[in-house]
C-alpha cells in the first residue's frame, strides 16, 4: 500500500502565503483531496481534483500537483486558517484510500 | 441540505463489539458510497473502509479485515460500522463521510459529526 507524507507542522505570519505539501506515489496517478480540521470539529473538504474549492471555501485556498507531490496553498493566511490539514488519495492498488499524517498550521 | 448524523458516544470493555450508525438525509441514499474514518486522540485520520449504499459492496482496509463490518439499511437511509474484539487502541472518534469521485480524484463531503468510542476496563 502507498503512503502520503506531510510535514507535521508549518507556521506562517498573518497575511503571508503558506504551502502545505503531500508526497506519495499514488499522486502520480490521482489528484489529492484536502481537508481542514479545527479542534473538536469534523474534517471539512477545502480542495479536490485539480484545484476545485467547494462552495463556501475562500479563494485564498488553492491546490496544485506535480509529479508525486500535491500542494495546498493559502494566499494571505488568516487567523481562522489555523488548523490541521490532511491530504487524501486513493491507493494506486485501487482497493484502499490513504490519508497523510496531517500538518498543523500555526498562524503567527 | 445533505447531512450525516451519527449515533452517540459509546463506552465499551475490551473484547466487546461496538456498532456506530450514520443516518443520511438530503440526497438519494443509494447514489453514493460512504466511507468510515477514525481518529485516535491527538492522532491523524485513518481510513477504515467504504460501502456502496446501493448494493452493499464493501472494501475494507487491510488493517481492519476480519474485525470491521460495514452494512446499510436502505429503508431507513442508515449506514452502520461494527468493530469487534475491541482493544484500548480502538479508542477514537469514528466518522462517516460521503464519497464523490471522477476519473482522477475521490473526495469526502460531508462528514458526520463523529462518534467517540472509548474502550476501557
> pLDDT for A57-104, tens place per residue?
999 999 999 999 999 999 999 999 999 999 999 998 878 999 999 999
Per-residue pLDDT of chain B (121 residues; tens, 9 = 90+): 999 999 999 999 999 999 999 999 999 999 999 999 999 999 999 999 999 999 999 999 999 999 999 999 999 999 999 999 999 999 999 999 999 999 889 999 999 999 999 999 8
Residues in CB range of A6: below 8 A, 6 or more apart: A20, A21, A22, A23, A85, A86, A87, A100, A101, A102, A103
3-class state of residue B28 by DSSP? coil
Which residue in B120, B95, B99, B101 sits closest to B109, CA to CA? Answer: B99
The B residues from 13 to 72 touching A (CB cutoff 8 Å) are 35, 37, 44-47, 50, 59, 61-62
pLDDT of residue A1 exceeding 70, the answer is no
Distance of CA B86 to the CA centre of its chain: 15
pLDDT digits (tens, 9 = 90+) for A20-50: 999 999 999 999 999 999 999 999 999 999 8
3-class state of residue B13 by DSSP? coil
A31 and B105 in contact by Cβ < 8 A? yes
Contacts of residue A37 in chain B, CB cutoff 8 Å?
A: 45
pLDDT of residue A2 exceeding 80, the answer is no
Cis peptide before A81 (omega within 30 of 0): no
Nearest CA to CA, how far is B97 from chain A (Å)? 10
3-class state of residue A104 by DSSP? strand
pLDDT band at A6 (very low <50, low <70, confident <90, very high): very high
Residue A61, chain B, CB below 8 Å: the answer is no
**What cell does B119 get?**
474502550
A99 and B37 in contact by Cβ < 8 A? yes
Q: Which residue has the cell 460521503?
A: B98
Nearest CA to CA, how far is A101 from chain B (Å)? 6
Q: Is the Cβ–Cβ distance between A18 and A106 less than 8 Å? A: no
Q: Rg of the Cα trace of chain A? A: 13
Averaged pLDDT for residues A13-21: 98
pLDDT of residue A53 exceeding 70, the answer is yes
Considering only the beta carbons, identify the residue of A32, A49, A86 that sits closest to B102: A49
Amino acid at each position: 500500500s502507498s503512503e502520503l507524507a506531510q510535514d507535521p507542522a508549518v507556521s506562517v505570519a498573518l497575511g503571508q502565503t503558506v504551502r502545505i505539501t503531500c508526497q506519495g506515489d499514488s499522486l502520480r496517478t490521482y489528484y489529492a483531496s484536502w481537508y481542514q480540521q479545527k479542534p473538536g470539529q469534523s474534517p471539512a473538504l477545502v480542495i479536490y481534483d485539480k484545484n476545485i474549492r467547494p462552495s463556501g471555501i475562500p479563494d485564498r485556498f488553492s491546490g496544485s500537483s506535480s509529479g508525486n507531490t500535491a500542494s495546498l496553498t493559502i494566499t494571505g493566511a488568516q487567523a481562522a486558517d489555523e488548523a490541521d490539514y490532511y491530504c487524501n488519495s486513493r491507493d494506486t492498488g485501487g482497493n484502499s484510500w490513504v490519508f497523510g499524517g496531517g500538518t498543523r498550521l500555526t498562524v503567527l | 441540505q445533505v447531512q450525516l448524523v451519527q449515533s452517540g458516544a459509546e463506552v465499551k470493555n475490551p473484547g466487546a463489539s461496538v456498532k456506530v450508525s450514520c443516518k443520511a438525509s438530503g440526497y438519494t441514499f443509494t447514489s453514493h458510497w460512504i466511507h468510515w474514518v477514525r481518529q485516535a486522540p491527538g492522532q491523524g485520520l485513518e481510513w477504515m473502509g467504504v460501502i456502496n449504499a446501493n448494493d452493499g459492496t464493501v472494501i475494507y482496509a487491510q488493517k481492519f479485515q476480519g474485525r470491521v463490518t460495514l452494512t446499510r439499511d436502505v429503508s431507513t437511509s442508515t449506514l452502520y460500522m461494527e468493530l469487534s474484539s475491541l482493544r484500548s487502541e480502538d479508542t477514537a472518534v469514528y466518522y462517516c463521510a460521503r464519497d464523490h469521485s471522477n476519473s482522477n480524484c475521490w473526495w469526502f463531503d460531508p462528514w458526520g459529526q463523529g462518534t467517540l468510542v472509548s474502550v476501557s476496563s
